[in-house]
Structure 1
Amino acid sequence: MNTSATQERTRDQVARIRAAKRAKAVAVGVDEAFVSQLVEGFYAAVRDDDLLGPIFAQRIADWPQHLDRMKRFWRSILFNSGEFSGNPMLKHMAIPGLEERHFARWLELFYAQLRTLESTPGAAPLVGRSARMIADSLLTGIATRRSGLAGSRAGGNLPHV
């Protein structure tokens, strides 16, 4: 089999998948401007939050850089853009004391920001489902690392959008 032809087909398939995911998001009003406003507003609320603010203040020295990174992350999630590289699981595992209440509060603030931006009915469910899956995955990974398989049931009480 021709490796070059296989690589070309793979690139074409990836491009089609990315275009379809982007079109689905844009159809409900989720575009780059939406992602930017979501990230900016959400992290403004996080910084002011009594529970989450101190955790972030201890770890984020350069907020503009962090916001740019989070915008790349969310564009990668929502549009399958492929522009984010990193390991959020390792970053979150390194934070001592993270519990379900932290992830629940993170989601509450995220959902509140989503509701302020939603221009069409499908935006909040689309973005909110992704946020909840991410929170659940991070919480489960942290709990499993701490408690083994017993921790794999974490996240069942996280709020939904």
Structure 2
Amino acid sequence: MTARTVQAHPHAIAAREERRAEAIAMGIDEAFIAALVDRFYGAVREDASLGPIFDARIDDWPKHLGQMNRFWQSILLSAGNFTGNPMMKHLAIPTIGQAHFQQWLRLFYQTLHDIAPTPEAISHIGAKARMIAESLLTGIWVHRDRDDPLTRKVELPDV
């Protein structure tokens, strides 16, 4: 049996390159993402509510930060270099809930406001972060808590 190489369609490649160029124009590049991830997760580790959750699950912070760098590069630069399943990781945390995502976003937004290169970058990245938090929270309600998400109100801060 031989492995088959799947090649992206030229339109998909062009769209990915366009998203990357738009991000670069806002000042979002690999160096900025690395600084964002390092500073943000430094704040998370010091946070009274989030720090213990992360400390209980992460025993190799450099490895985790590398994974988060690849995640945000994929989200913000269409890098395609992230592999993993964030939903499954979050579903495995029995106590995580809306208040944790609210705090996660507050810290993330504060970090963005502190170091983002442009106002457009703040808006763009902040919207992506909120979308991710809302998706994970809704997934937790549906898959872990077996709740109907239509009966719950997502209350997350905006950037």
Q: TM-score, with normalisation over the residues of structure 2? A: 0.91
Name 1:23's counterpart in structure 2. Answer: 21
Distance 1:99 1:84, change over 3 A: same
Query: Could you report, residue by residue, the CA deviation over 1:10-56 in whole angstroms, capped at 9, with x for unpaired residues?
Result: 43222211111111111111111110000000000000000000000
Q: Matched residues, percent identical?
A: 49
Q: 2:110 aligns with which of 109, 112, 117?
A: 112
Superposed, 1:150-161 pairs within 5 Å as 150-152=148-150, 154=152, 156-161=154-159
Contact 2:91 2:144 in 1 (8 A): no
Is 1:95–2:67 an aligned residue pair? Answer: no
Unaligned runs of 5+ residues in structure 2 are 1-5
Contact 1:129 1:160 in 2 (8 A): yes
Superposed, 1:1-161 pairs within 5 Å as 10-152=8-150, 154=152, 156-161=154-159
Kindly provide the amino acid, as one letter, of the partner of residue 82 in structure 2. Answer: F
Cα RMSD (Å): 1.5
Contact 1:76 1:82 in 2 (8 A): yes
After the TM superposition, list the runs of 4 or more consecutive aligned residues in structure 1 that deviate by more than 6 angstroms. Answer: none
The 2-side partners of 1:108 and 1:132 are apart by: 10
Distance 1:127 1:68, change over 3 A: same
